[in-house]
Amino acid sequence: QVQLQESGPGLVKPSETLSLTCTVSGGSITSYYWSWIRQPPGKGLEWIGYVYYSGSTNYNPSLKSRVTISVDTSKNQFSLKLSSVTAADTAVYYCARGPTRYYFDYWGQGTLVTVSS
């Protein structure tokens, strides 16, 4: 059974860079798309972007200037970096697997990241 687990700081200061890692277990990271999706408290889902196992990426146009998603196939991990964060970036961040670019069949449990000084 494929499992995804997010890890990283739960508190980030304004203007700093948010960094999260997703570790994939129970399956290979190859041949799939790996996405980050976030959900501000009490609000809906927002797709951040994906990385293909080969390393190619695609990002939400509204976040593109601040986002970097990378993959480490040797560790079965992929990572998110979001720079210049503000309070508006406070959210539960999910990592998810996509058999295609268009849908997500396995999700991590989510990790709350709060942006505050």
Whether the Cβ atoms of residue 107 and residue 2 lie closer than 8 Å to each other: no
Q: Write the CB contacts of 63 (distance below 8 Å, at least 6 apart in sequence).
A: 48, 49, 82
Stretch binding other proteins (CB under 8 A), from 16-24, 68-76, 78-86, 108-116: 108-116
Stretch binding other proteins (CB under 8 A), from 11-19, 20-28, 74-82, 93-101: 93-101
C-alpha dist (Å) from residue 49 to 26, 58, 61, 116: 23, 6, 9, 24
Cβ closest to other proteins, residue 53 vs residue 63: 63
Work out which of 62, 81, 84, 87 binds other proteins, going by CB under 8 A: 62
Stretch binding other proteins (CB under 8 A), from 10-18, 19-27, 54-62, 68-76: 54-62
Work out which of 61, 74, 116, 117 binds other proteins, going by CB under 8 A: 61
Cβ closest to other proteins, residue 10 vs residue 44: 44
C-alpha dist (Å) from residue 13 to 95, 114, 116: 22, 8, 5
Q: Does 54 bind other proteins (CB under 8 A)?
A: no
Q: Does 110 bind other proteins (CB under 8 A)?
A: yes
CA dist., res. 105 & res. 98, Å (int): 6
